[in-house]
Structure 1
Amino acid sequence: MTFSTLHLSTSTPETALEIGGQPASVPLQNTDRVAARMVGYFATCMAPCRTLPGEQLRGDVTELTRSCLALAAEMFDKRAVPDDEQLNEVREAAAQWAREAVPLGTILRAYHEGLRIAFGLVTARAKADDVDELLVATDLMLELLEAITAAVSDAYVGEQHLVAREHQTAAQTLASALLSGRGSSALARQAGIPIAESYQVLALSIPEHPDERDTRVDTHVAARRKLRRLQSELATVFDSRALALLSTKGGTLLIPVDEGTVVLTIDSLEMLTDAAGVPLTVAMVVGDTDQIPDAADQAHELLNLVRVAGRAPGLYQMADLAVEYQLTRGGPATRRIATILDPLDAHPELFDTMRAYLGNDMNRQLTAKQLYVHPNTVDYRLRRISQLTTVDLATSAGISQAAIALLARDLDRSVARRL
């Protein structure tokens, strides 16, 4: 676009724009005929529009096409692009189509193709001496295309955000009801979300993102961005069927288990982890809909066991934590196991050595390196543990006993802290 063309398009002369010896708007003034031609082209030549209902093409699309043709004709007569208020009908239609899930790309392409056809009609009779007027017409049409594209996009995205918020509110309401044992078909109809016969009930832990620890970044903003990325990926992976009650630290997810639906797997958890930008930890229990409250309690108990046991992030089920879970059931045996290591209370370095030794798969070299001591020091401490507790870490029985005793002790102290 040259400056002279821009200057011409923004001027307001008294005469209408003329091309081929007649006002440029003339080919567009029979809006019924031109609109019918355009809509017919949309229906037969534009693949995305072929899937639109005939009623919609003959009704909303045709009416809006007539309105846009009238705007274009007036633009050429006044040599001025329609103002913001004149595009209200365009915005209203975009919002309606957003709610009807008509793809934005289909809408924009239809507008672009329609304006291309209109411009072809306007310039079809152009002569050699119409160059200046053609430059003005081109500039006006490009400005109109820009204005319509911006109006449609803004209205469509705005409506999509509103629809997403409404769905999220409905999903949260239904999730809360199911978790409290109050799920009903009436509530599902009200929310517009079907209730499945069974669900994956997930307890989710979301650690801090590195940006949340960056003093140069607003920690609250960083945390919310992390959560929004995760929520967006949840909607994508599970086709907006996941019911979530989440904070920036974690929460509860309900994934319907229906034939043909996507459920949480290790692969899909990796996708969620990549989106959040942090390693996620999930404890999963599968249960029927009427079992959701108990399943949620169990899932969160398993998640706490993962934390206390120092397990790596990932996906855990009851089978992965059977020993830990049984130890939490209490009883004389569990309490007795938890006290085996009491003689080490006065020797924190021995506890550190035992944890490191077990964590490094009984590799004394790695343990020494982790603790910044000589390997002989590790050997001495292991012998000292055996003398004080009768737990011999040189035997497989002693290693198993030590691992279970450490876990029972940690679980016992975790319960005591919560109380």
Structure 2
Amino acid sequence: MLYPTPRLTIDAPIVARLLPRISDLTVTLMTAAVGSFPGLDAAPEGHFTDFVMPMVVESVLAAQRSVEAGRDLTDEEIAQTIVPLTEYYTEQRVPLRALISGGFVVIAAALEEAFGSARPEDMADVLALNRFMLDYVGRAMVILFEAHPDIERSVYRIERHARRALCAALVSGAPFAALAVQADMMVPERFDLIALHVAATAVTDPKFANNLSRRRVELVQLELDQIAGTTALHTFDGRAGVALLPFDEQPPDPVHLQRLAVNLTTHLGEPVIMIDYGSVTRDDLPSASTQALEFAQLAAGLGRPAGLYGTDDLLLEYQLVRPGRVRDRLAARIRPLLSQKHLLEALEAHVRHGWDRQRAAEEIHLHPNSLTYRLRRIAEITGLNPLHPHESRMLAAALIIHRLYPASAALDERPA
């Protein structure tokens, strides 16, 4: 017992007054069960009756049998209704928080029905009924919490696999109609496109790499579901991928997307770069997805901190690193510096601090005059003067290319 109170008996007046009203009580509890979950009360009449009503009736009858036997309900008796109801409502996309809240709504409705007819002389029976219900709800919540993760994985596994396959088809331009049916989705004409990239900061033991990737995919899916529910699609494989959110007239809230990047960085244990590419038509998804992933990889390669970025934040760098002979020739301008690390270090500090010689010198522990001397040496060696605005920008561009594509800077510079 939870506390010393009389045990409820079948002939207690409060119970005797309830028994003739069992049918009405089950309808009341069923209405509370359905109405407590947002959106389900708008379903067609009778939509939930065939499944939920028998469960409610069985719960009431099990409670009656246990009272007649002078005992509490067993875990098995509670699970006979709690587990099927959890499965059913999970299939209806009712989240765990709403499921728990709805359970308490039903218990409150049952107590209200019972206590509504109580009289002063029924106080001992009221306490006994209250103890019985508290014992029931406490163990029912434990059963719910233990069962829900497995139920959710089972219910969503096939659908989530179909949604990933659908997303892969959309971003590759492959046929998707059959996959949309499997995913139980109407594919919209436009999507809001997001690219995800995890910047690797640690070496993963190959024995655990697959498990880690699967866990990361699950975490990304759960976080995306918080934003767009089961309409969110993604191709994330544990390291990179795109996410498609059904287009709305209002773009995704940047605050929510930034929070998503923070949450993923926390959960995945490594910096997560997100690119908000904006709205894209279904036909443009293949090319846009490729470009969005390139932006994400670029941000990671440049050492940008974890977080959310727009394409405008990386336009210059993206254009600079487009493949081609011009890119390679520009990177080659700093090739003579690669063997003189002190000069390369001075140039990087100079570029980072944008002409602030004092801060640049402090960073690499030099006197400003010594930094100026090194910058002049760079001008002599490369033919580009870091102290000249235009030539300094060319050197900065060459550094970006070298950082992302070191091989380019090693190419011989030959006349065009």
Report TM bin, short chain.
Answer: 0.7 to 0.9
Say whether residues 1:165 and 2:157 are aligned partners.
yes
Give the partner amino acid of 2:329: R
Matching residue of 1:109:
104
Matching residue of 2:181:
189
Matching residue of 1:273:
261
Superposed, 1:17-166 pairs within 5 Å as 18-20=11-13, 25-30=15-20, 33-37=21-25, 39-40=27-28, 43=31, 48=36, 51=42, 53-56=44-47, 59-87=50-78, 88-101=80-93, 103-105=98-100, 107-117=102-112, 119-120=114-115, 124=118, 127=121, 131=124, 136-152=128-144, 154-155=146-147, 158-166=150-158
| Separation of aligned partners in 1, 2:380 and 2:48 | 87
Cα gap change, 1:338/1:105 in structure 2, threshold over 3 Å: closer, same or farther?
A: closer
Query: What is the CA distance between 1:235 and its match in structure 2?
Result: 1.4
Query: What is the CA distance between 1:113 and its match in structure 2?
Result: 3.0
Pick aligned residue for 1:336 from 291, 314, 329: 329
Contact preservation (8 Å) 1:25, 1:77: no
Structure number with larger C-alpha Rg: 1
Matching residue of 1:13:
none
Matching residue of 2:361:
368
Pick aligned residue for 2:377 from 372, 381, 384: 384
Say whether residues 1:242 and 2:232 are aligned partners.
yes
1:359-396 per-position Cα deviation (integer Å, ceiling 9, x unaligned): 11121111111111222210110111112222112221
Matching residue of 2:414:
none
Give the gaps of 5 or more residues in structure 2: 411-416
Give the partner amino acid of 1:297: T
Superposed, 1:318-337 pairs within 5 Å as 320-322=314-316, 324-331=318-325, 333-337=326-330
| Separation of aligned partners in 1, 2:53 and 2:276 | 52
Contact preservation (8 Å) 2:200, 2:271: no
1:144-190 per-position Cα deviation (integer Å, ceiling 9, x unaligned): 33334444555556533433433322221212222333232222112
Matching residue of 2:242:
253
Matching residue of 1:301:
294
1:226-263 per-position Cα deviation (integer Å, ceiling 9, x unaligned): 76554433211233333222244x31123245344754
Contact preservation (8 Å) 2:276, 2:310: yes
Say whether residues 1:396 and 2:389 are aligned partners.
yes
Cα gap change, 1:151/1:111 in structure 2, threshold over 3 Å: closer, same or farther?
A: farther
Cα gap change, 1:322/1:200 in structure 2, threshold over 3 Å: closer, same or farther?
A: farther
1:347-368 per-position Cα deviation (integer Å, ceiling 9, x unaligned): 1110110011101112111111
| Separation of aligned partners in 1, 2:129 and 2:171 | 62
Cα gap change, 1:360/1:60 in structure 2, threshold over 3 Å: closer, same or farther?
A: same
Say whether residues 1:315 and 2:303 are aligned partners.
no
Q: Secondary structure at the match of 1:55?
A: coil
Identity across matched positions, percent: 20
Give the gaps of 5 or more residues in structure 1: 11-15
1:334-355 per-position Cα deviation (integer Å, ceiling 9, x unaligned): 3332222222233111011001
Contact preservation (8 Å) 1:204, 1:280: yes
| Separation of aligned partners in 1, 2:2 and 2:139 | 19
Give the partner amino acid of 1:107: G
| Separation of aligned partners in 2, 1:225 and 1:187 | 24
Contact preservation (8 Å) 1:208, 1:223: no
Matching residue of 2:413:
none
| Separation of aligned partners in 1, 2:317 and 2:120 | 85
Contact preservation (8 Å) 2:196, 2:240: yes
Give the partner amino acid of 1:383: R
Cα gap change, 1:339/1:252 in structure 2, threshold over 3 Å: closer, same or farther?
A: same
Give the partner amino acid of 1:336: R
Query: What is the CA distance between 1:119 and its match in structure 2?
Result: 3.9
